Amino acid sequence: MNRIDSLLNRLNDPNEDPWKRAEAALELGDWGDETVIPHLIRNLKEAEHDFIRRDCAEALGLLEICNDEVVDALIYAIKNDPFRYTRNEAAESLGKLEAKKAVPDLLEMLSTEPWDFGRASAALALAEIGDRSAVPHIINQIKKETEFFARRDMLIALKKFKDKRAIPLAVELLQNDPNWEVRKQAADNLGWIATPEGLEALVFALKRDPHILVRQECEKALIRIAGDHRIPWTTAEDLLNKKDQIKFD
């Protein structure tokens, strides 16, 4: 019996320890063998133990085989699985697979998933897929989020799009968000898309933000903008004075 067959026997054995079955699922994902897909999908849908389903969802992403059978199973999981960690792993796998078919369902998850961490994972998956129609939905959801890590992670998702529609929100969060991690991420985002309002917000926050890591991120963002436009870096004020040399996005 080869290793894959041994792992499949362990995964499919209802009398086996559930944790060992879950471990088998993850190892099967690492093998990258498409013959294991039906077994992972069946256990994702039918296994009674939450962590078996969770690890089957992750394993389907690890396989890096994107077909309708896999995508449909993962979509079913984000919509129906009762265990939030399974829904979360399914969303992450859809992102890894860049499953464009899943965009409408991930957009629904972004706004309706009860777990804030899961909503953030939906945003990150949409960013991995790269469908720019998701940008306004992520912007609107950030405005509703009360947990700082959800706002931060959704900003990370927006950063991947490099879409100037997200600039007003990044400026607003840099100036007013109560959490320093969110302000720091907003500063980072502003450094990848040069706009007049973003430049001014970074210079202001560099001088006034109370948290040193936010100020450091502002300086990094400004240095990046200067470098992208071949302007020698000296100070933030000098860069602001030379903004006529910047080709704003």
pLDDT digits (tens, 9 = 90+) for 88-144: 999 999 999 999 999 999 999 999 999 999 999 999 999 999 999 999 999 999 999
Angle value at C-alpha 165, between 161 and 171, nearest 5 degrees: 100
Band (238; pLDDT cuts 50, 70, 90)? confident
Residues 61 and 26 in one domain: yes
Residues 1 and 91 in one domain: yes
Give pLDDT, residue 217.
98
- State yes or no: pLDDT of 246 exceeds 90: no
Report the percentage of the chain scoring pLDDT > 70: 99
Mean of pLDDT values over 189-205: 96
Residues 92 and 134 in one domain: no
- State yes or no: pLDDT of 243 exceeds 90: no
Domain of residue 24, residue span:
1-97
Residues 102 and 153 in one domain: yes
Q: CATH number for the domain including 234?
A: 1.25.10
Give pLDDT, residue 1.
54
Mean of pLDDT values over 188-208: 96
Q: What is the pTM of this model?
A: 0.94
What is the b/e burial string over 188-204, where b = at least 16 CB atoms within 10 angstroms of the residue's CB? bbbbbbbbeebbebbbb
Residues 27 and 48 in one domain: yes
Residues 7 and 90 in one domain: yes
Tokens of 104: 């409408």
Q: How many CB atoms lie within 10 A of CB 48?
A: 9
Phi, psi of 196 (to 5 degrees): -60, -45
Domain boundary among 97, 129, 152: 97
- State yes or no: pLDDT of 249 exceeds 90: no
Residues 34 and 66 in one domain: yes
